[in-house]
Chain A
Amino acid sequence: MDWECCWNKETLEPGECPNILADEEGGLLSSKQRRILEKCVDCALFSRDVARSSERGNALAPVLALLNQEYQHQKTQIQSLVSFLDSKTLEIRFLHELGSVLQSSMDLDEVLSVALTAITAGKGFGMNRAFLLLMDREQGLLKGHLAIGPRNIEEASQAWDEIARNDLDLKSLAQNFRLSKITSERAKFRDVLDQLIIPVSNSNHILIRALDSRHPLLVEHAFRNPDVDPDFARLLGVDTFLLMPLVSRNRRVGLIIADNFITHREITNEDLRLLETFTFTVAFAVERAALYERLQVELNRVTEAHDKLKEQQELIVRMEKMALVGRITSSIAHSIRNPLMIIGGFARSILRNTPSTDPKRDFIESIVKEARQLESVLDDILNYSDSLYPTRDFWDANQLIESTLRDMQPVLIERDCQCSFVPNPGLPLVYIDFKQLSYCVKTLIMSDMDGRSGDRISIELKGCDDSVLIVIDNQDRNISSEQLEEMLTPFSATSEMGTGIGMALCRTMLEKQGITLDVKARPQGGILYTMKLSTRKEEQA
């Protein structure tokens, strides 16, 4: 019998079998068994050979036909299973990739970018849009946080063209979204996100119900669904959407709304099942990232508190040292004051009863003078002790100057000094230690006169931003920059200030209160002191 098919040949020449293509492997041409199983069973010529054999009364021919038919059926089923297996392998690979990215990230924005990109990317779940809402536990609200997707067909086709052109994998797409689109997408959907604020107590709202049920929910016919708030349906603008609660360790983290706003592709149960697996990972990652973020905030707070505590400790140690210095200084000064007072007092008493002709009078006068000088030094030392702890409050700068000048009146008269001051009543109150500032003004004026008489000094108050300036101007005082430097150095002698710590003490007092003192000796003569007093209560310098 002449066979139409080449099944009975042991080996074939290339091109002899129409079912073996030129680029197929050569093994098929030499293996009769492989050829029959892989090619002949699908070959029309072979089927005709079997039919002709049956017509000619071959008893085994119908059995062969039956076996061939069954073989083909089994083969189709295997192919279908292989295809199913392939798709599952892809799914698992995708979920694994997603899981790896989500599990390795501690950054909330990165997690959200990956999650939303996975939902909307063609290489992911392929939904058109996704909205993410997060729980605000303090306010008891479920609030719109982020969204992704096109708002119209033009935008959709443009975005999808771009994605197709770049052919990026999911990770790169998410990275791209996070780096360049997260802000613009949030702004684009701002109107919708702002309206997606639902109190958790509103258990009738479809979103809260989905969240409470902890299972994904496919909402269909939203515009006429009695369970869906019409305003909410109008806000989304789609009839069918998917709600995916994000729940981690029984804690409600948030919810994702996904829809096919542009393509209107049907959302299947398969989509639902796949997304359910995915949302568990997302919820866990979101919660972990949020906790990490909170942890970072707490950590920063603890670090700040630690730094502040350290600063405070250092300050306390410094203050204790200063207090000790202050106490010692004060104690020594007071121990000296009583004997000094007795020496000075008795010397004065003796001086009063000593005739002017008595040669000892000069000696007694010297004792009185030196005792007075030493008392003045003691005052400075005690003032220094006081300067360590300024007590600040709000005071009127006019009152400060008027009161200080009143105290100085006898000295000013004695020195024939014309000290002019015109109050400036419109000024704000200044935050100062009144006593110390009064001492400083007094010391500046005294230092300014430097034992001379007949000086003309003017004092002026000026408002300047958040401060008030005290400007003391003596045009009669001529001083070189070297002398000025000497004047501001502690313990350099001047005629009035004894050991000369007065000016340096002023500096310390003012620095402690954060007040700047600017001293300028004019080249053409005269000296100008400017103190800048703050009108605001700030931390002590």
Chain B
Amino acid sequence: MNRILVVDDEANIRILYAEELSEEGYEVATAANTAEAIEKLQEKDFDLAVLDIKLKNESGIDLLQKLVKERHDMPVVLCSAFSCYKDDFSAWLADSYVVKSGDLTELKQEIARVLAKKAQRAKLA
């Protein structure tokens, strides 16, 4: 079972993601900020992280850069209410970018795609 870490400062969004992604068969852990996310990452390995960009007083992009540097084997999906970050160079570090929507179909599709790609890479290695 693939393990996903969801980082978002909105409690209801964390609950929604956890519920929806669990239904898809993933093991989901959530974090409200960077410190919590790093703590969770130290506790166990994750196959993928879903990051919000605007965290309270923090930037998801900073966390993304940290993850790419320290956990380069863990793909990251950025999920933000801001579509403009799609054009931001820093956001290009992420494996995928999804604009937040009540319809989580796109997010789920992207998670599946990125994980499949990761699995394929692992098989080739």
The reply to whether B103 and A344 contact each other, CB–CB distance below 8 Å, is yes
In the complex, 7 of the A-B residue pairs with CB atoms within 8 angstroms, ordered by the A residue number, are A337-B81, A338-B10, A340-B102, A342-B13, A344-B103, A345-B104, A349-B20
Interface residues of A (CB under 8 A from B): 330, 334, 337-338, 340-349, 368, 371-372, 375, 379, 382, 386, 391, 435
Smallest CB-CB separation from A335: which chain B residue? B81
Instruction: Determine whether B84 belongs to the interface, using a CB cutoff of 8 Å to chain A.
Output: yes
Instruction: Determine whether B90 belongs to the interface, using a CB cutoff of 8 Å to chain A.
Output: no
Q: Which residues of A contact B70 (CB under 8 A)?
A: none
Complex CA distance for A344 and B104, rounded to whole angstroms: 10
10 A-B pairs besides A330-B84, A371-B102 with CB distance below 8 A are A338-B13, A338-B100, A341-B16, A341-B101, A342-B10, A345-B20, A348-B104, A382-B84, A391-B87, A435-B87
Instruction: Determine whether B59 belongs to the interface, using a CB cutoff of 8 Å to chain A.
Output: no
Min CB distance B125 to A, Å, is 31
Instruction: Determine whether B120 belongs to the interface, using a CB cutoff of 8 Å to chain A.
Output: no
Q: Which residues of B contact A368 (CB under 8 A)?
A: 102
Query: Which 3 pairs, one residue from A and one from B, show the smallest C-beta to C-beta distance?
Result: A344-B102, A337-B81, A345-B16
Q: Which residues of B contact A348 (CB under 8 A)?
A: 102-104
Q: Which residues of A contact B10 (CB under 8 A)?
A: 338, 342
The reply to whether A347 and B102 contact each other, CB–CB distance below 8 Å, is yes
The reply to whether B81 and A346 contact each other, CB–CB distance below 8 Å, is no
Q: Point out the residue from A349, A382, A386, A435 that lies within 8 Å of B19, measured CB to CB.
A: A349
Q: Which residues of A contact B101 (CB under 8 A)?
A: 341, 344, 375
Q: Which residues of A contact B87 (CB under 8 A)?
A: 391, 435
Q: Which residues of B contact A346 (CB under 8 A)?
A: 12, 16
Q: Point out the residue from A337, A349, A371 that lies within 8 Å of B100, measured CB to CB.
A: A337
Q: Which residues of A contact B12 (CB under 8 A)?
A: 342, 346
The reply to whether A382 and B16 contact each other, CB–CB distance below 8 Å, is no
Q: Which residues of A contact B20 (CB under 8 A)?
A: 345, 349
Complex CA distance for A345 and B8, rounded to whole angstroms: 15
Instruction: Determine whether B82 belongs to the interface, using a CB cutoff of 8 Å to chain A.
Output: yes
Q: Which residues of A contact B83 (CB under 8 A)?
A: 379, 382, 386
Min CB distance A9 to B, Å, is 124
Residues 8-51 (chain B) with a chain A CB within 8 angstroms? 10, 12-13, 16, 19-20
Q: Point out the residue from A337, A338, A372, A379 that lies within 8 Å of B103, measured CB to CB.
A: A372
Q: Are A349 and B81 also in contact (CB < 8 A) when A341-B101, A344-B103, A435-B87 are?
A: no
Complex CA distance for A178 and B61, rounded to whole angstroms: 73
Min CB distance B35 to A, Å, is 21
Complex CA distance for A345 and B54, rounded to whole angstroms: 19
Complex CA distance for A349 and B103, rounded to whole angstroms: 10
Complex CA distance for A342 and B100, rounded to whole angstroms: 10
Smallest CB-CB separation from B13: which chain A residue? A342
Smallest CB-CB separation from B52: which chain A residue? A338
The reply to whether A349 and B16 contact each other, CB–CB distance below 8 Å, is yes
Q: Are A341 and B81 also in contact (CB < 8 A) when A347-B102, A348-B103, A368-B102 are?
A: yes
Smallest CB-CB separation from A337: which chain B residue? B81
The reply to whether B84 and A342 contact each other, CB–CB distance below 8 Å, is no
Min CB distance B12 to A, Å, is 4
Residues 46-103 (chain B) with a chain A CB within 8 angstroms? 54, 81-84, 87, 100-103
Smallest CB-CB separation from A336: which chain B residue? B81
Min CB distance B70 to A, Å, is 28
Min CB distance B117 to A, Å, is 20
The reply to whether B84 and A372 contact each other, CB–CB distance below 8 Å, is no
Complex CA distance for A347 and B101, rounded to whole angstroms: 12
Smallest CB-CB separation from A339: which chain B residue? B12
The reply to whether B84 and A341 contact each other, CB–CB distance below 8 Å, is no
The reply to whether A345 and B81 contact each other, CB–CB distance below 8 Å, is no
The reply to whether B13 and A341 contact each other, CB–CB distance below 8 Å, is yes
Q: Which residues of A contact B82 (CB under 8 A)?
A: 334
Q: Which residues of A contact B19 (CB under 8 A)?
A: 349
Q: Which residues of A contact B16 (CB under 8 A)?
A: 341-342, 345-346, 349
Q: Which residues of A contact B102 (CB under 8 A)?
A: 340-345, 347-348, 368, 371-372, 375
Most chain A Cβ neighbours within 10 Å, of B13, B20, B103: B103
Min CB distance B14 to A, Å, is 10
Complex CA distance for A335 and B104, rounded to whole angstroms: 19
Complex CA distance for A386 and B82, rounded to whole angstroms: 11
Smallest CB-CB separation from A379: which chain B residue? B83
Q: Which residues of A contact B100 (CB under 8 A)?
A: 337-338, 341
Q: Which residues of A contact B103 (CB under 8 A)?
A: 344-345, 348, 372
Complex CA distance for A348 and B106, rounded to whole angstroms: 14
Min CB distance B93 to A, Å, is 20
Min CB distance A338 to B, Å, is 6
Q: Which residues of A contact B13 (CB under 8 A)?
A: 338, 341-342, 345
Q: Are A334 and B81 also in contact (CB < 8 A) when A342-B13, A345-B16, A435-B87 are?
A: yes
Q: Which residues of B contact A330 (CB under 8 A)?
A: 84
Complex CA distance for A28 and B122, rounded to whole angstroms: 140
Complex CA distance for A341 and B104, rounded to whole angstroms: 9
Complex CA distance for A342 and B103, rounded to whole angstroms: 10
Smallest CB-CB separation from B54: which chain A residue? A334
Smallest CB-CB separation from A385: which chain B residue? B84
Q: Are A386 and B104 also in contact (CB < 8 A) when A341-B13, A349-B19, A349-B20 are?
A: no
